[in-house]
Amino acid sequence: AQKITQTQPGMFVQEKEAVTLDCTYDTSDQSYGLFWYKQPSSGEMIFLIYQGSYDEQNATEGRYSLNFQKARKSANLVISASQLGDSAMYFCAMRVKGAQKLVFGQGTRLTINP
Amino acid sequence: GAVVSQHPSWVICKSGTSVKIECRSLDFQATTMFWYRQFPKQSLMLMATSNEGSKATYEQGVEKDKFLINHASLTLSTLTVTSAHPEDSSFYICSASPALTDHQPQHFGDGTRLSIL
């Protein structure tokens, strides 16, 4: 079975600072994908970034980057130059190869202070 | 990009009413859609996998007769909460993907907030 753990229930960061949101995962599968989603208070789920288990380079998408450490089974999300609009819940998720389901972590509530 | 539309956004109704929620993939076909439930300050809980043209696959502990799922076309799945009661009040959200390849993310609807009085 797969499991995603996000150990930070809440994070508070000053505007313009970088922030790292932690995600560790557990799976016996060798091929899998890791996803990060943002959920603002309005409720929609916004896809941010993807990392494949065989990708040699860390994924980047604009201000988002993924610090992927396969041996440690961690896939931390890094947001650079945080903005007030980054305040939201952030979920880490995993899907193993051949599976349909996404497995979600508990989420981290990020608050950006002006 | 892939767009998933969910309707309605809000529902407030009396106990005992049945409520139907629609999930549409607007610019792609989806043989599989997913229905989640989310309680306040908690993560998404997968309720069921909706399969076009066949029966849905429900997660353990989810009542099939309570939460009816119909996936009659490649662009539409519906979730009907039958004889809803206050404990069914929650945020329900659906997702779909143009293709279930490893790198393809699921795209989510905007969710439905259901309040049963």
> Is the pLDDT higher at B2 or at A57?
A57
Alpha carbon of A62 to those of A66, A81, A82, B23, B50: distances in Å? 11, 11, 12, 30, 33
pLDDT at A1: 84
On the question of pLDDT at B1 being above 80, the answer is no
On the question of pLDDT at B102 being above 70, the answer is no
Mean of all residue pLDDT scores within chain A: 96
**pLDDT confidence tier of residue B104, bands split at 50, 70 and 90:** confident
On the question of pLDDT at B103 being above 80, the answer is no
**CA A31 to chain centroid:** 18
Q: Is B108 on the interface with A (CB under 8 A)?
A: yes
How confident is the model over A32-62, as pLDDT tens digits?
999 999 999 999 999 999 999 999 899 999 9
pLDDT at A83: 97
What is the pairing mode between strands A60-61 and A64-69?
A: antiparallel
The verdict on a CB contact (< 8 Å) between A106 and B42 is yes
Match 């880490």 to its residue by tokens. Answer: A92
Residues in Cβ contact with B114 at an 8 Å cutoff, skipping those fewer than 6 apart: B11, B19, B21, B81, B84, B88, B89, B90, B91, B92
What number is the average pLDDT over the span B27-35?
92
pLDDT-above-70 percentage for chain A:
100
CB-nearest partner of B43 from A52, A101, A107:
A107
Residues 30-89 of A with CB under 8 A from B: 31-33, 35, 37, 42-45, 47, 50, 52
Query: Which tokens go with A37?
Result: 């989603």
Which amino acid, residue B63?
E
What number is the average pLDDT over the span A109-113?
98
Interface size between A and B, measured as CB pairs under 8 A: 52
Q: Is B95 on the interface with A (CB under 8 A)?
A: yes
How confident is the model over B48-101, as pLDDT tens digits?
999 888 899 999 999 999 999 999 899 999 999 999 999 999 999 999 988 766
Mean of all residue pLDDT scores within chain B: 93
What number is the average pLDDT over the span B10-37?
95
Alpha carbon of B7 to those of A37, A82, A94, B10: distances in Å? 21, 32, 27, 8
What are the start-end ranges of the H helices in A31-105?
none
pLDDT at B100: 61
The verdict on a CB contact (< 8 Å) between A43 and B93 is yes
Contacts of A105 in chain B (CB under 8 A): 43
How confident is the model over A60-91, as pLDDT tens digits?
999 999 999 999 999 999 999 999 999 999 99
Give the Cα separation of B78 and B92 in Å (integer). 12
Residues in Cβ contact with A15 at an 8 Å cutoff, skipping those fewer than 6 apart: A82, A83, A84, A112, A113, A114
pLDDT at A100: 82
Please tell me whether the peptide bond between A40 and the residue prior to it is cis, using omega within 30 degrees of 0. Answer: no
Give the Cα separation of A16 and B50 in Å (integer). 42
> Could you tell me which of B95, B66, B51, B102 has the C-alpha nearest to residue A50?
B102
